[in-house]
Structure 1
Amino acid sequence: MKKLDSAFYNRADVVKIAKELIGKVLITHFGEVITSGRIVETEAYAGAIDRASHAYNNRRTNRTEVIFQAGGVAYVYLVYGIHQLFNVVTNQKDTPHAILVRALDPIHGINTMLERTGKHRADYTLTKGPGNVSKALGITTRHTGVSLLGDEIYIADDDFVVAKKDIIATPRIGIDYAGEDAKLPYRFILKDNPNVSGKKSQNA
């Protein structure tokens, strides 16, 4: 299993990177506890020109400043005061691109994931949806800014091959406020994977 390096994250095409993350493995290693899952759903956010991005029009706040860092760090933010959402920062410094990881296919540490989420059995809801991804893998807002090149949180390639025909592009979910940008095909899913979030009509 090979950890993705800075060259993977520092590229300019956030949509391409979001697509290439499908099939990669997201891993957390906190103390002696390791959990991981295969990425099966992502969403790209294209920064200053993307009305759905927190950094639209180069908006810089205490929360969004991390997105302006060079690619290869985590951006974790809170929504509805409940869900903590894990994003991968990409591109060069001062170009605020990010990719939301929306769903995983669990691989390692499932019992730990069950404890973290308060679930009693490992059904498809365990890592379906971005809030569940972070909860299951123990990722919180305190991990914002953590390098994905380190050993706590990282993404790796285990030579799992995804056929191009099995990666489906769709509009992103829950961003109606973004106007025409809400229709952009910036969400990628692994075809027929039961862990993918969204309604059936959103996954075709």
Structure 2
Amino acid sequence: MFLNKDYFQNDAIFLAKDLLGKILVREINGKKILCKIVETEAYIGPEDKACHAYNNKRTKRTEAMFLEGGCTYVYMIYGMYNCLNIVANKKDKPEAVLIRAVEPLNELEYLKKNRNIKSKKRYDLTNGPGKLCKALKIDKKLNKYDLCKNKKLFILDSKDKKIEIVEAKRINIEYAEEYKYKLWRFYIKGNKFVSKI
């Protein structure tokens, strides 16, 4: 079942937990690639010092975060890695969920080719935000993309409700003062595709 706009009007902490186990679908060149979402992080601007929209900072880069929930926010880090975020909540309430890791369910060889790796280790394929974006060919062309169009990139609900969620500190946000201690990273316990335990 497709997730609709109403679903994405929830806040980022709710979505970051609830998206775990759901299926991220990427359509490329006639292929439909399915990946289970296994790790996320919530970013709650404007009070969250780790969030790009902290203090309601609105720039060309962060503009996507101010859209209505259900759009994408894709940005680049270190000048080379793209990161996929799902915008949450109402319009002009900048919150987002970073998709940190996914478990690919099909087309493994195609994903390996996109990553340009020959490793036999499946777990290294999409166990990080930059890795999954490269494998799924997600870049800034998909910034501000409406996930509810159900084309190119969208999320399906999952019947897998029996998952145990771990809450942890977010990664690489040492600058965020007291917000670096918030347990706003969520992952499926025991899943081998999680980027960091």
With structure 1 as the length reference, what TM-score do the two structures score? 0.93
Within a 5 Å distance, the mapping from 1:12-161 to structure 2 comes to 13-120=11-118, 121-150=120-149, 151-161=151-161
Q: Which SS does the other structure have where 2:176 is aligned?
A: helix
1:185 to 183, 186, 190: 183
Q: Which SS does the other structure have where 1:50 is aligned?
A: coil
Q: Which SS does the other structure have where 2:100 is aligned?
A: strand
Q: Which SS does the other structure have where 1:155 is aligned?
A: strand
* Root mean square deviation, CA, Å: 1.0
The answer to whether the Cα contact below 8 Å between 1:113 and 1:126 also exists between their aligned partners in 2 is yes
Report the CA distance between 1:122 and its aligned residue. Answer: 5.0
The answer to whether the Cα contact below 8 Å between 1:35 and 1:112 also exists between their aligned partners in 2 is no
Aligned partner of 1:171 in structure 2 is 169
Question: Can you list the C-alpha shifts for 1:16-68, whole angstroms capped at 9, x where unaligned?
Answer: 11000110011111230221210000000001010000000000000100100
With structure 2 as the length reference, what TM-score do the two structures score? 0.96
Q: Counterparts of 1:30 and 1:124 in 2: how far apart (Å)?
A: 22
Runs of 4+ with >4 A deviation? none
Task: Give unpaired runs (5+ residues) of structure 2.
Answer: none
Task: Give unpaired runs (5+ residues) of structure 1.
Answer: none
Alignment: residue pair count: 195
Q: Which amino acid aligns with 2:97?
A: I
